[in-house]
Structures are given as structure tokens and as C-alpha cells.
Chain A
Amino acid sequence: MTLRRLFASIAVFRLLSRKTISAVMVFALLKYGLKGRYRPRPDFRHAADLKPSYDVVIIGAGGHGLATAYYLSNYHGIRSVCVIDKGYLAGGNTARNTAVIRSNYITPESVRFYKESVELYRDLSDELDYNMLFTQRGQLTLAHSDATVRTFRMRAEVGKHCGTNIELVDRKQIREIVPQLHMPEEHRSPVLAGLWHPDGATGRHDAVAWGYAARAMDKGVEVHQRTEAQCIVKEGDRAVAVETNCGTVHAGNIVQAVAGYSSVLAKMAGFRLPIRSYPLQAMVTQPLKPFLDPLVSSAGLHAYVSQTSRGELVIGGGSDPYELYSTRSTLDLKESLIGHTVELFPFLARVRLLRQWAGITDMTPDYSPIMGESPVRNYWLDAGWGTWGFKATPVSGKRMAECVANEKMPAILEPFRLARFKTFDLVNEMGATAASH
């Protein structure tokens, strides 16, 4: 049996050795083929029952919650951490987002925050020893109006000022970046300019959460699926425990990281958040041979397209226009979104759409997140992630962990504190959010 495998490997090696990389790839996979029988190396060791208490209880086993658990356990020595989720691991917006990673925002506060996230992402597969298929193929956003060109110039100017890779490009440069793009001169909304962000990237969204979960569990963090927070128990102005369908857990600190349900959890904890929740839909085509490297989005057409490493086209757009806690799909949005996609790439007309789905986005008035202190002591917020949660997963995990471990807001999170809405000291990112995610 092993001999067979050895011959097979040699044969394969000979076939591929024409290209060095391919040959090295073969070696990378030999570990599986030569081992003989497949031996699982479980990523997750699932704990049986909830303990009565932990140092930190994190509500929400999505990317943010798991990342927070990882940094707490790996960087701050806090290993008595329990992450609970009413569904399955990373099954909320982590599972539903379209995996856009970028830092081309408008305000310096945001650019610095998301820039740190992109940098963490770049080394994340290595850090977690879990390949999240991070690939930096750049993001091109298209402007069809003067107003958008102005916003793009601002994003370019601020971005350059903060040290990110970004520039405003003209039609000729756009053609060089994405030659496949349909850009007629005589169009009622012609492409006027583009915002080219070479730092823009994508990756496998599930893998980000799984990688964090695996390495957090290595340090003793527990993740409990199908465990729903039902009540936040308080003593005075302090949160002390979470009641769940699987029993009550006490906690030194509690973190809520429940994108889509932030307001619901905050209400349990006894306060209100300035959040409105809207469905956000996305869709995917059948796999095609790769033809599109960067992510292409259009601010005017409310559509963006990227091609995954599997070859599928992932297509997304703006949130639904009304508030709803439902992840149903609509035909109207699919029609308009796909219509716009075909405007950008008419040759896709015969390509087939495989699936559409929806998540729930917690939109804040300034299109920036809410992080850190809440009105309840020992209860920490990681909320208001609207359509920009996935790209911030590493930085929010890292900084939330720092925040909870020191029980003090790090400077980089200060602009995103909840109290800013009382003083209107907002971080306005509306112009950098529409259909770019």
C-alpha cells in the first residue's frame, strides 16, 4: 500500500516537476499521501458542558468573538474563556459575508484601524498555522459621478497620508488594471475614475474563524455551540453572569460580539444602541476558469464582484432598504444587482448564478463600529459592524482582547466608543461604505 503511494508520488512529482512551484506543492502534500491511513488531527476539541464560571464569557462564536478569545488566551494569558453561540461555529455573518479586506476609508481614525487589520491578515495564516487563503489581489472601485470622484480623491489623499497603498486612477489606468471591464464612453453613467487599492484582499471567511477557534482551543478556550444567551445577570451596574439554555455561567467580564443581533443583546444587558439592522444579500455563480484578479466594485451601480480561488464569482451590493431581522432572499435585489453586474461585465450574461443568501447588518449612524465600554460595567461591546465586520476581524479581536484584559480602552479604539453618539463626535464613513464592503 505504502509502496503504491510512493510510486504514485514519484509519478506525480515527475509530471509536475517542470514547474518548480508545482513540484514544491507536491512536497507540501506528501505528508498526507505517505502517512498511510488518514489520521485526523482535530482542529476543535469540543468541551462537554459549561463550567459554572470563567474569567471571560464571549457571546457570539463568530470571527470577532473567536479572535478575541484567541488574543486573550495567546497574548494575555487569560485562558479561562468561554465562547457561546446560539448556532454553530462562525455561522452568522462570518459565514455569510463576501470576504472583502481593505483599508480605503475616509477618516484617518478608520484608515489606521483597518490598516492594522490588513497587516494582521497578511500574516494570519502563518500565525494561526491555518491557511485562510488570504490573497491580496487589490480592489478597484469605480466612480460614475463627480460626487463619487470627490469622495474617492478624499479616500486616496487620506489613505496616502496614513501610509496605505491607494490612488485615484483614470480610465486608461482602469483599463490596465481590469481590461475585461466594459467602459463605453457614451454611457449615461460612464466610468469617470477609479480608486485603486492594491492592499485590497480576500480570503476564506470560514477559515479565519476556524483558525482562531483552533488556536484558542489549543490554549484551553471553550466554544459551546447551540448555547443561546437568554439573560444578562447584573449586580448593581455590573454584569456578572449569562443565563443560557444550557445553564448559567458567571464571568469576570462579558463581551458581546453578535453581529446582526447587537441591539437584542444590548437590550438584554439593559441599554440601547444607536443601531438599525438591515438585511444584506450576496450571491455566487458556478465556478469558472479564473479571469478576474482584483475585486471590482462600483459605487454608482451598487455592485461588487470578485472571483474566489475556487473560480466562483461572488457578487454583492448594498443593504436592503428596510429594517428586518430576517435572512430571506429577495428577487428584486437579485435582479438589480445582477443587472448592474452584467453592465460592468456583459460577457457574464451566460454565466450561471448558483446561490443567493443574506445576513443581517447592524448599521450605525456614522457607518463605524461601536467598541469597548458599555453603560454596564464589565460588559464590553463589539458591535455595530454593519457591512465592515469581516475585514476588521483580526484588529478587533486583538484590540478587544487588550481592552478586556486591561479593562481599559486602547487608544486606537477610542474613536469608536459608544459615548461618541452622545457628543456627536462621529467617525463618518458613509462615503466609504456604500457597496464596497
Chain B
Amino acid sequence: MAKQATASGGANRMTAPAGVWVDRDKPVSFSFEGKRYKGLAGDSLASALAANDVWLLSRSFKYHRPRGVLTMAGQDANTLIQLPGEPNVPADRLAIREGLAAWGQNYKGSLEKDRNGFLNCFGAFMPVGFYYRSFNKPRFDRYWEPTIRRMAGLGKIDLGAGQGYFDKAYLFYDLVVIGGGAAGLSAAITAAKASAEVLLIEENPALGGALAYARFDAEGMAGERRRQELIAAAEAEPNLTVMTDALCNGWFADHYVPVIKGDRLYKVRAKQLILAQGSIEQPAQFRNNDLPGVMLGSAAQRLIRLYGVRPGKTAVVLAGNDHAYGVALDLNDAGADVSAIVELREDAGSGPLAAAAQDRGIAVMAGHCVQEAVPARGGKHLGAVRVSRIDGPGIFDPGSVGIDCDLLAMSVGYTPTYQLALQSGGKLSYDDRAAHFTIAQLPSGLQLAGSLNSTYDLSAAEAEGAHTAWRAATALGLEAGAEPAVPEDRGAAGVNHPWPIFQHRRGKDFVDFDEDLQVQDIQNAVAEGYNELELVKRFSTVGMGPSQGRHSALATARLVAKATGRTVAETGVTTARPPFSAETLGVLGGRIFEPERFTPMHHKHKASGAVMMTAGLWWRPAYYGGKAKREESIAAEVRNVRNNVGLIDVSTLGGLEVRGPDAAEFMNRLYTFTYKKQPVNRSRYLLMTNEQGVVIDDGVACRFDADHYYVTATTGGVDRVYRQMLWWNTQWCLDLDVANVTAAYAGVNIAGPKSRQVLERLESDVDFSAEAFPYMRLRSGYLAGIPARFLRVGFVGELGYEIHVPASYGESLWTLLLEAGKAEGIRPFGVEAQRVLRLEKGHIIIGQDTDGMTTPDEVGMAWAVSAKKPFFVGKRSIELRRRNPSKRQLVGFTLPLDGPLPLESNILLDDAGEMAGFVTSAARSEVCDAAIGLAYAPAATKPGEELTIKYSDGRLLQAAASAPHFYDPGNKRQEG
């Protein structure tokens, strides 16, 4: 490995082969905090800054302490920086690009000189949970919160930023392997060889995992050699798809995993899943363990081997396991002066790495700990460490030796990357002997391999990968050959130091870097009575920050266990929830489609100057003519229907085909009326109640044949009605089929005294005369050659025909009728006019004149409820409710035509001033020469009684109660 640093891409940059991810031929300019730097293609922002000897990346959440590189794995809050309009971007994940401009965040002034830095001296004034015990007098939100709010939060967002482009895709594989390290690669290759379709997901830009950055042998080349071999083997497998730079960010039921690559969300369905995400190295706790220059051993190794950046000039290594010796060797190879290995164990390491380190003359201080990291001048980087003898677990001799250094690399243990495994239902346990978390009780089809499964030995991890792949392939029914051997020694012993926690009497020994929580904060939370791990978390906020406890869960569990006298296993960790890593809202939202539905006549309406309104997903004409002439247009449309003939597009009305021998029985059970004896070619009103006897939809049942009903439903209700039909018939198992044909048909309602004349002008095999085609009858036939269904119904209270035609004829039908009716003065009318017309007629609109409690009786629909049928949905409730009659009923009311018009939902008051009901509909009616409306009023209300309506401005209006049918109560016009 190279020993000399060169100036290419920064002063700390080493020569090749160090830095397998960077391309020395491609320099990249970028800026941080307004200063320009040069890095290399393949650098992360953090590595490029480190190469330029810039270590200060952020200010901590609470105390505004200087923070720098901790993990180099994109898993800590230390490296969160601000991009324009994008806060909290992990600098050790962010690939630099030409012209990138990044800034620090959470400071006042500059990152270097943060005016909020004084808060660091303020720690004693802010003990754990202090805000629950302060600032409550006087009122928090009036006096204290505004100031606290100024201090809250981390990054800034750009309120003017647009949504940007994000999208989604679906993938399906036999086997998905998450994690492209030794175990994952081995699993993917093995399964692909057994002809499984395999997807291997790796969050980093290149495969290899620890093979790329860790040291496995004294010589230091074994990992990289093996990595090359495995990658070559993977590339040779045609069944193996590799996704790099792709983060599997959660586990959902049935192995449904979201994978984020760039701004795309892949939703991946896996038949079998192997998790090989490795483990997360953990920091040790001692005073100032958060100083820039103090980092994980693996972070130092990642800098050296992945990016070719020397992480320090003079280094001390804190060892709790043998991996630390590999770190020391790597640092030594990188040209750093390794002053000492401070070994927490009583004896120096004994493996080949330890031997090689000692051979190189690196001093080992066995039985010692670092009690404090001492800042260099300026306070923003490590200057020295104070090393003391260990007297017992967590206890050290007050005397210390100082060792000058600008790097302290810690290798004291790991936690498995357990998040996905636990989300899938796995249970976490703690192996007291190995001081290590283990995972069990996984769901079927999901396996673990590698260090996630406590398998740290390299060849054991590969063997385990191959074995899990064999099991997955076998479960998939593939021929996978003989079962491979399972490794016996997985190399977990000695990897985790049981107690790398050295509490300092002056604190600043951080357990949670995100939330600035020290050892005493955790202990104090327990002492305050918060004696369960979840309570400690909630009271102290440990683990709630951006890294979600990745580097604090183990230490917290150990500390809480000790403080409560429980075992670590009993203490556990807090529940693992998705996502694994923070994910942008944009990628979750995707393109955000706004579905909208147009009727076949839509652009005809637009051409006629219709003002459109939404009805569920549909667009419908509200009225024709500009917005300026709203009232006049609506009134003219109403008048024309009453006097001549109008045409309305009712294509949005729900249409359902119910076909089969049991169709009539089905209708009988689903709706309140009787349908068994309904003659063919007749229609009948439909009322649907739910199990509580509440009115939920209405429509018309058109019986075109003994076993064929064409059922209409409200525009807003049809999807629910369709679901209800399927849901009920799943239980009833009747012999029939239901199809939602709403969009397959276009429909119009031609209404008005002259509507028959218009139809008779057109060629048809249907006789439209009053005698041949009376009210509530149906006909199938042709109109000017268009196949059509004709329904004589009367929603608006005039002679009228609904004509339903295949959607492709909708536009022709519309044009044809408007042409044919010219002489009769036909004009289209919109939803607004229809609302007035139906109100004049006293026809209710479900959802407007009914609420979530309305019974058929309350709205005068008792006639539509069969008393004879043994059953229909809601029958039992309706009968129960009749025993205890409702206190309200829907009544009509009238007011002077030119006075104030009550608004829908204005309330009614009784004599005592209590609420006595509310208005559901109101409109000015020319034909009735009054303002008319419907309202819920006390049940005993008689026509002519005075109703007090409270107008929105507080005025009390005195209306006269009436029957709800204002226009043509004898139905002469619509039935004529």
C-alpha cells in the first residue's frame, strides 16, 4: 500500500492503489461553506473534504459542538450538511459533482465560528428532560416557545423549491439478497448458479462490503483480492442482477421491499430474501468522544482504502478487539504515525494482525482506556488523548498519560444491522458471553448471512452465504445440489468488548451523538423513574435522532440494563420501524398522479363555454356561460327545462350490470325495496342502507331481463356500491356476476315538456308516446342508429328520458340531440341547474340531504322499505330504530324569494336557543316564487310551523316549514 501522500485531489490524498472508489484522472471542483476545493470523481463530500484536511462538518443538535467524520458509512448525524433547498444530506454518502455547493447547518454565523457554540458550556443547565420541568410558568406557548422554536430543528428548507421529478418501478425476483459484501455476494452467486433469478442490492457505489475496506491479513491485500474474484464471479452469472448505489430501506409484509436508487423507488417483491447487510461499528464512550478526529476504526479504513485519504498524521488506536490491529496496520501503511494502541483488554491481541502490528513496533498499552480526548488549539479537532489504567469495568485510574495525536480510531465492537430483520418480525437477543446482539425467530423465506448473523470470519461468512442460498433455492423448488457445509466457528468471539464505556466526572462522554446525550443523561433518566428502555428513549430522546440509534442502541441497552438491574436481553432495544435510513418525501410520493375522468362529451361542454366542477374524480359542467354570469346562466337553464327542454350529461352516474339466475335475489338482499316481482322492462327506485340502517346510496334498478339488472348508483357512491356488492356476494355466494360499467356507458337526461317531441324527430325503433312508453319503463333499441337503453325517470320533475349508450357514441348522441332539438329550444344544463330543479321537486341528494345517521324514515322514504322481505342489509337496524322513533325529520321550508338565502349547514335553533337541526339544501326558485330548502327539523314539525334558521352572520331567519315537494306534488308533469 502507498506510503506517500500526494497533492492530487487534496493534501491528505494517498497514491494508488489506495482509494478503489476514486478516479485520480477526474478531478472535481466543489465548494463547502463558500470555499472552493478539489476532489476526485468517486469521492463523497466528506472524503473530499478530509483529503483537503477539512474535518469540521457540522454542529451538534443541542450543544452546537463541532462534529466531523464518525463512520464514513452515511449512518450518523455528524455529517449532515445543507445543500441549496435540501437539508440534512449525509456528507459521507453524497457523491461530489462539478460545481457542488454545500454548507454546514445548525449554526449562527459560520460553521467555523458558531455563535451558538456557547451552549456547549451550558450542558449542566440542561440536564436530561429539563424542558419538562422548566418553562411551564407562565404559559409555555405564549412566553417560552417562540425562543425555543428559534433554536429548534437542523437544516433549512427552501420554501420556494418545486417538487422535482421522482418516479417508481416494480421488480419481481426469486431471490433478493440485500448487501453485497462477502456473504451477500457468495449467496447471490450460489443461488444464480442454481438458476434462480437473483437481485443483489448494494447501497454503496461498488460491491465488496468490508472486503473493500477492512484488513483481513498481515499483508493487507487479501480482502481486495477476494473482492475482485467474487465480483468477477458475480458478473459471470447471467441470472444475477446487481443494483449498486441502491438502498433497501425497509421490510414490509410478504417480503415486499422498497429499494431507493437515486430519485426512483423500486418496489421489489421477493419470493426469498437473504439479508447480508453486515454490522455497524460502535463508538466507545469517554470524554469528548465526539471531537473531530475521533472516529471508528472502520471509518479510518474506509477513508484509506475506498478514497485513498489518510485520516490523520499521528494516530492512536483504541482497541477492544483484534480488528483494531488491522486498523493500526492500515494507518501505518498509509503513512500515519501510530503512537499507540490503547488496548481495553488485559492482554494485547493474539491473532496474526496483532502479531504483525507488534512486529512493526507499534506500542500496545494493554489494560488501558482513553478517558478523555483533548482538543487542539481552537477546540475543533483532536489534539491529544489522555490514557489511563483500567481498574474495573468502566472504571479508570484518575492518573493519566497524554499522547498527542490528531486521530483516534476506535474498534471496540459492533451491532448487527438488525433493522430489516426486526421489522420482519425477528426477535433480538443478547449473547452475554460474546457481549453481542443476536437475532432469531425470522419469518419463513427470510435468512441472515454474514456479520448481521454474528458471522465475522471471512470464509465462514462466505460459506454461510452459500448455505442460505442453497436453502433459498431449495425452497424455490430448484435443483441446488448437495447441501453445503455450515461453518462451525463463525468468529464472533472477542469481537465485542463488553463495556467500552468510561464515564467521565465532567461528562461529555456521548452515547448519542445526534441528540447530544451523555452517559449521565441515560443514568439520570432511569434515576428519575423512567425505568424502561422505551421510557428512557422518550424522556431523553436517545435514538430518536437522524441515525435512529444505530450508534447508541447498544450502549443505551447496556447502561439501562445496569441501572435497572436487568439483563441486556431483558432491556432490549426500541422497536425497529421503517425506514432503515432517512428517505426523501419526494421519492415516496413519486410522480403524484392526479387521476381525473372526462365524460365522452367533455370537450363539447368546454366548447359550449361550460364552467366545470369536480364530482369525485370526474369533471362535470356546473353551468354553461362565463363565471361572470353564473346566476343568470343557472336560472336560464332551469327555466328552459321547465318550459322547453334541456339536456344534461349524466355519464358520470354509476352503472352496474348484475347478471345471473340469482340477480333478483341479490337485489332483494342488497336494497330496501322488493325486486323479485319487478317486471322486465320496468325500472324501480333503489335505496341502499348499511347495516346500521343508514341511507348510503340510491339509484334505479332497470330489469332488462329476468336475470339481468342494470343498476344505477350515484356518481360519488358507485365505487363503494360496487365494493359492497362484491363484499356481500362473497358471503352469500349467489349465482351471479357484477360488473362496474360506469365508464363503458355515456348517458344523457333529456328533460322538459318538449323532450318527447325532440326524440320523436329522430329515427328510432322505440315508440316514445306516453301510452307506449309510460313512466318508470325501460326500452332497449336504437336512436338514429345508435344502440341505446332508454329509461323514463324524473329526477328534475319533468317529462324526461335517460338515454345510455356505449361510451364511444356519447359525443354523437350529444350533438345529435342538440341538433334535433333546435326548434324546441333545447339547451344543455349543468349540475347547478339540476340541483335547483331536483330541490323544487323535493328529490334528495344522498350525501347532501342525508348524513351518516339518516334513516329512510327520516327522509320520508318509508315507502321504499319493504316490510315483507325476510332480509335486506340494514333491515334489523331499521326495525330496531322504529321502536324508538327518530327525533328529527327532513322537512321543506320556504322564505321570501328576495331575502337572504340560508347556506347549507346553517343551523336551526329551538325556542331555548339550542341547536334543533340544520339546513341541507337551499335555492331560490322562480317557479315556486320563494327561496326553498330542505332541513332537518324536530320530528313533530308540521307544515306551516315557523323554523328559526341561524344565518352565518348571526341573523335569525324565520322560515315556514312545508312538505319537501315544492313543485308539481301530484307528479303530473314527470309522469305525463
Contacts and interface: CB of A to CB of B under 8 A. Distances in A.
B359 interface: no
A83 B835 CA distance: 56
Q: Which of A11, A19, A211, A287 has the most CB of B within 10 A?
A: A287
Contact of B148 (A26, A154, A201, A309): A309
A348 B852 CA distance: 35
B671 interface: no
Given A21-B146, A286-B154, A356-B578, A349 B584 contact: yes
Nearest to A42: B529
Interface string B115-135: 000100110111100111111
A168 B152 CA distance: 32
A357 interface: yes
Given A334-B588, A351-B584, A95 B852 contact: no
A189 interface: yes
B445 interface: no
B881 A424 contact: yes
Contacts of A286: 87-88, 154-155, 546, 582
A5 B915 contact: no
A225 B530 CA distance: 11
Contacts of B527: 40, 42
B531 interface: yes
B905 A151 contact: yes
Interface residues of B, number: 110
B524 A207 contact: no
Given A40-B524, A188-B596, A348-B157, A33 B905 contact: no
B787 interface: no
A158 B907 contact: yes
Given A12-B122, A309-B145, A357-B577, A126 B136 contact: yes
A134 to B, nearest CB: 6
Interface string B685-698: 00000001100000
Interface stretch (A62-70, A231-239, A337-345, A382-390): A337-345
A316 B87 CA distance: 22
B848 interface: yes
A335 B588 contact: yes
A341 B162 CA distance: 13
Contacts of B586: 342, 348-350
Given A135-B140, A352-B582, A428-B851, A347 B159 contact: yes
A411 interface: no
B769 interface: no
Contacts of B575: 357
A43 B528 contact: yes
B871 interface: no
Contacts of B847: 147
B592 interface: yes
Contacts of B154: 286-289, 311
Interface string B145-168: 111111011111111111110100
A38 B614 contact: no
B715 to A, nearest CB: 12
Interface string A35-48: 00010111111100
Given A153-B904, A428-B853, A354 B546 contact: yes
Contacts of A154: 905, 907, 918
Nearest to A351: B585
B153 A424 contact: no
A131 interface: yes
B166 A349 contact: yes
Q: Which of B141, B155, B596, B950 has the most CB of A within 10 A?
A: B141
A327 to B, nearest CB: 8
A347 B156 CA distance: 11
Contacts of B914: 108
B673 to A, nearest CB: 22
Nearest to A160: B954
A50 interface: no
A125 interface: yes
A246 interface: no
Q: Which of A15, A153, A357, A428 has the most CB of B within 10 A?
A: A153
Interface in B901-946: 903-907, 914-915, 918
B151 to A, nearest CB: 9
B880 interface: yes
Given A147-B848, A161-B915, A428-B852, A354 B907 contact: no
B256 interface: yes
Contacts of A31: 134
Nearest to B134: A28
B98 interface: no
B172 interface: no
Given A350-B157, A352-B583, A356-B579, A290 B906 contact: no
A291 B159 contact: yes
A350 B161 contact: yes
B877 interface: yes
Interface string A265-305: 00000000000000000000111111100000000000000
A22 B277 CA distance: 47
Given A21-B147, A108-B914, A347-B160, A44 B530 contact: yes
B630 interface: no
A55 interface: no
Given A131-B132, A131-B140, A330 B252 contact: yes
B590 interface: yes
A3 interface: no
Contacts of B134: 28-29, 31, 131
A346 B253 contact: no
A339 B589 contact: yes
Nearest to B138: A126
Interface of A: 5, 8-9, 11-12, 15, 19, 21-22, 24-26, 28-33, 38, 40-46, 88-89, 91, 95, 108, 122, 125-126, 129-137, 145-147, 150-154, 157-158, 161, 168, 180, 187-189, 201, 204, 206-207, 210-211, 214, 225, 285-291, 309-311, 328-331, 334-335, 338-343, 346-357, 365-366, 422-426, 428, 430-431
Given A38-B520, A346-B163, 10 more contacts: A157-B907, A157-B952, A286-B546, A287-B153, A288-B87, A288-B157, A351-B584, A351-B585, A354-B579, A356-B579
> Top 7 nearest A-B pairs by Cβ distance?
A311-B153, A44-B529, A349-B586, A352-B582, A135-B141, A131-B136, A33-B125
14 contacts: A43-B530, A95-B534, A122-B139, A158-B915, A188-B594, A285-B585, A286-B87, A290-B150, A290-B152, A329-B423, A331-B250, A339-B588, A347-B157, A347-B161
